[in-house]
Amino acid sequence: MKRLTYSLLALLFILLMQVGCSSSVLQLRDQPDLYHGKFRQKLADNKELAAKFLACTGQAHDEPLKERPDAGASPEPLSLQTPEGQATSVRPLTAVIETIRKRHPDKEASLAILANVLDDVANDATARIDLDKLTQVIESAGRWQGSLGLDEDQLEQDSSRFARMLLAYNKAYFGDLSFKAHQISAGAGPRGVVKVTSKGFVDRSGNTLLFPGISAEIEVSPANSVRTSATTVDSQRVSADLMRIFLEAFFDAAFRVPAVHGATALRAGSNSQELPYPEFNADHPAISLEGLARVTRDALRAEAAVTSLVGKAVRGGSVFGTQNETLAATLEAAAGVMAKKLIEHEGFCYYQVSEGTPTKAMRDQKDPVPVPVKTGSVTTP
């Protein structure tokens, strides 16, 4: 009997050890290709530019750059942590959540977990992804997406930029459908109705995403267009797409990184208290066109790398395995988009301070001609 008891205790100990070892946290600092702190590292030797970078990452891109009062005391190596321990890139997110709290108090907690996940990713002291928390983000997105159809009229009038952008992004993803009367020839009888479909959701970099069950005409040149055929609707593709739409809306509402012409963000409504979403202006660019291309490539690389890392973790027989392909695809998309949006935000800040290009709001207040800033030892990668 004692031998059986000892065997059961030993088995219980092994099980407890296995549970303790199966943490849901993926470390990014151990993955050199995934750790995004390179912008900070490049600025660490220049306290003036480092302080400007910290100020930029702590606010939206259409706001005047606010110098931190402790700028001269910026630590080395450069950290993005606030005195409270929160990464500065999370500040714009918490500002959006505070606005939502006033309009939708029932949904505040569901979005706060998203800021918490990003803090884990963006914070130098952690640099990790918690898949359990990320699953809660997916659940939160599902609740928002489920209410869009019922609350569409209300959301169009909502004072929350995020709610209006989420609605606009969803409508664009589903083709922004409308119908128009059509008559083949005069006197040929009753007019028919034809469907009019947009080319889909266009993110701030110009990439297009369209619900797979819709066929649409896509313009490839001023004189030519191509009609795409509808493809099979499957849960993995759609769930990942809707997760992407949700996060694109949330991060765009918070960071407001300037968008290229034609982006859906530029068509999302604003209220009297808000500036329209900023468009990238080639005449007075927020950063150089070369910098824009580099930020876009870096953001896509980060998305690909993090998507791959999470995909390996949540598929198959690892301790993170979900055994649910739809959930796995959604987790991949969520982690990848978060990484992409963080690089877009911090990358824009890096090029603004290293190239000496003022923000749009600063140009509106001062001379429109950019004034170069001495970059010291900082070089553009």
* 3-class SS of residue 370: coil
**pTM (2 d.p.):** 0.79
| Secondary structure, 3-state, 312-341 | HHHCCCCCCCCCCHHHHHHHHHHHHHHHHH
Percent of the chain with pLDDT over 90: 31
- CA 107, CA 101: separation in Å to the nearest integer? 7
Mean pLDDT of 27-53: 77
Output the six-digit token pair for 323: 């055994």
User: Which residue is listed with tokens 């029932």?
Assistant: 106
User: Which residue is listed with tokens 């429109």?
Assistant: 368
CB 362 within 8 A of CB 65: yes
Residues of the chain by 3-state class (helix, strand, coil), percent to 5: 50, 10, 40
Beta bridge partners of 226: 218
* 3-class SS of residue 96: helix
Q: Residue 233: what pLDDT? A: 73
- CA 184, CA 180: separation in Å to the nearest integer? 13
What pLDDT, in 10s, does the model give residues 285-315? 989 999 999 999 999 999 999 999 898 888 8
Output the six-digit token pair for 253: 């509402």
What pLDDT, in 10s, does the model give residues 85-133? 678 899 999 888 888 888 777 776 777 888 888 888 888 777 888 999 9
DSSP string covering 347-372, please? HHHHHHHHHTPPPHHHHHHS-SSPPP
> Who's near 363: CB < 8 A, 6+ residues apart?
284, 370
> Who's near 150: CB < 8 A, 6+ residues apart?
none
